[in-house]
Structure 1
Amino acid sequence: MTIAHISDLHFGRIADSGVVEALLDEINAAGIDLVAVSGDLTQRARPAEYRAARNLLDALGPPTLVVAGNHDVYPWWRPLKRLRTPLERYKQFITEDLAPTFEAGGVAALGLTSAYGPSIKGGRIGPADRAAMRAFFSGTGDDRFKVLVVHHQLHPTAIGPISPHPVARQAQQTLAVAGEVGIDLILCGHLHISAIQPLEIIPGTPRIVVASAGTATSNRWREPTGPINFYNVVSVEPEAFSVEERRYVPDEGRFVRDGVTRFDHAG
């Protein structure tokens, strides 16, 4: 089972004229089983940006699981819309399902929407979201590889000048539930850096791996990695799983392997 994890596309701030096509071509040719998109499809939630994002999703061959990011809500200069119907355009162009699921090939994946109107860039996972986590993952069976997809970070990523950085509100409670229901992997974005780290949420319990994808297509790079575009490929095997970081090379118009991190299944 293979999952392509792309994040922070930011249509409206595309980095290179060929990066979107290169991403599509590679994913569609790679035998990917699922594309997980962890938010910020647009830069300012404009209709034209959403149409471009919709076109990308429609051009992908594999099934997709998509969640919204903070840039996908109405911008700050539309305060009433931002507060009352923050994800109206996201629902119009992308999906009305704010907690999408996927089950196939021994994998069970759930997406949660951490973006909300009152915050400019922060995120939140509320009690209803955690109830959805419990309900979905508790019913999938212990033999499934369990994946949570969310835009905002649930745990600090200690990388260079971006550390420390805020995490989503109620992140600690959410991680506790993730540990309870046996989540193996959390796919997220938001920071525009590529980072992979195992977490021991509760001492003595199986660890959870957090894989943060860099910005796949935009020029909103972050040090220490920028100016580079990244996405991840997760390969799930019977005894282990791996996260491969793939980096875009503008001069060659293609993505190349940047590194692979392998983990035995927790248990």
Structure 2
Amino acid sequence: MVIVHLSDLHFGRLASGAVVEDLLVEVRRQRPDLVVVSGDLTQRARPRQFRAARAFLEALPAPTLVVPGNHDVYPWWRPLSRLVRPLARYRRYLTDDLRPAFVHDAVAVLGLNTAHGATVKGGRLSAEDLAYLQTFFATVPPSAVRVLVIHHHLVQLQAVGPHDVARGARRALEVIARAGIEFILCGHLHVAHVEPVVVQPDGHRVVIVSAGTATSSRGRGPHRNRNFYNVLRIEADAVQVEERCYEPARRAFIDFRRHRFERAKLPDKCWRA
């Protein structure tokens, strides 16, 4: 199984027109079984930006699993809409499904919404979504790699510098550990980073796969003005995560870093909940 992981497209603030075209070529070359987009498809949730994002999704070569990000919510200068119907345009132009799923013998993927009008940037997972998460993963094939897709982060990662964490992250991590989730695909920070962490006290290990911005000019920190996406290659006993970086002069994505995680032997690096 091959999963392509994109995030933070930010139509309305593209790095260039070429990067979108070249990303489509690159994704087609990977021949994915699934394309995951972990939020922020638009810059300001404007109709024309959603239309551009929808055209991009329709051009992808595989089924897509998409979740919204905080930039897909009505902006702050539309306070009533932001609070009452924050994702109305996302639902209208992209999808009404805020719990998208993909299940195969080899992998089970669930997407959940962390973008809410009242949370500004940090995001949150609702109690209802956490309950649904437990129910969903209780029904998937036991041998399947379990993957959660959200926009915001649930763990403070020192390697990417100070950043916000979703509200209720500790409770969410406890539920994620009980559900046996092995990978969390997210974005939001505009920094590409892959890090295995351990949820204490039960010691469940989960790999955080944070994608950099795929097509926008909003890369941050060490990845300022750079574009990234990830490829997950799922094997019987291991998962390989490839981070790929765009080279504008060559109009091509190249290998940046590769990680291989044996399913029973993830690196023992602790994060204390």
Taking structure 1 as the reference length, the TM-score comes to 0.97
CA RMSD of aligned residues (A): 1.1
SS of the equivalent of 2:158 reads coil
1:263 corresponding residue in structure 2: 261
The percent of aligned pairs where both chains have the same amino acid is 51
Ranges in structure 1 where 5+ consecutive residues have no aligned partner: none
* Residues 4 and 35, structure 2, Cα contact 8 Å, conserved in 1: yes
CA apart distance, 1:135: 0.7
SS of the equivalent of 2:223 reads coil
Quickly say closer, same or farther: Cα 1:204–1:79, change in 2 above 3 A: closer
- Is 1:26 the equivalent of 2:26? yes
1:250 corresponding residue in structure 2: 248
1:234 corresponding residue in structure 2: 232
For residues 159-185 of structure 1, give each alpha carbon's deviation from its aligned partner in whole angstroms, at most 9, with x where no partner exists. 25xx22220011111111111011010
1:207 corresponding residue in structure 2: 205
Ranges in structure 2 where 5+ consecutive residues have no aligned partner: 266-273
* Residues 206 and 266, structure 1, Cα contact 8 Å, conserved in 2: no
2:16 corresponding residue in structure 1: 16
SS of the equivalent of 1:41 reads coil
* Residues 247 and 257, structure 1, Cα contact 8 Å, conserved in 2: yes
Q: After the TM superposition, which residues 167-186 of structure 1 pair with which residues of structure 2 at under 5 Å, given as runs? A: 167-186=165-184
1:86 corresponding residue in structure 2: 86
* Residues 42 and 50, structure 2, Cα contact 8 Å, conserved in 1: yes
Q: Residue 167 of structure 2 aligns to which amino acid in structure 1?
A: R
Q: Residue 11 of structure 1 aligns to which amino acid in structure 2?
A: F
* Residues 192 and 220, structure 1, Cα contact 8 Å, conserved in 2: yes
- Is 1:129 the equivalent of 2:129? yes
Q: After the TM superposition, which residues 26-175 of structure 1 pair with which residues of structure 2 at under 5 Å, given as runs? A: 26-160=26-160, 163-175=161-173
Once residues 124 and 239 of structure 1 are traced to their aligned partners in structure 2, the CA distance between those partners, rounded to angstroms, is 32
Q: Residue 225 of structure 2 aligns to which amino acid in structure 1?
A: P
Q: Residue 121 of structure 1 aligns to which amino acid in structure 2?
A: K
* Residues 105 and 141, structure 2, Cα contact 8 Å, conserved in 1: no
* Residues 184 and 266, structure 1, Cα contact 8 Å, conserved in 2: no
CA apart distance, 1:204: 5.2
Once residues 135 and 58 of structure 1 are traced to their aligned partners in structure 2, the CA distance between those partners, rounded to angstroms, is 30
Show structure 1 runs of 4+ deviating over 6 A.
none
Taking structure 2 as the reference length, the TM-score comes to 0.95
Once residues 101 and 150 of structure 2 are traced to their aligned partners in structure 1, the CA distance between those partners, rounded to angstroms, is 12
Once residues 261 and 226 of structure 1 are traced to their aligned partners in structure 2, the CA distance between those partners, rounded to angstroms, is 22
Paired residues, what number? 265
Once residues 202 and 144 of structure 1 are traced to their aligned partners in structure 2, the CA distance between those partners, rounded to angstroms, is 23
Once residues 62 and 171 of structure 2 are traced to their aligned partners in structure 1, the CA distance between those partners, rounded to angstroms, is 33
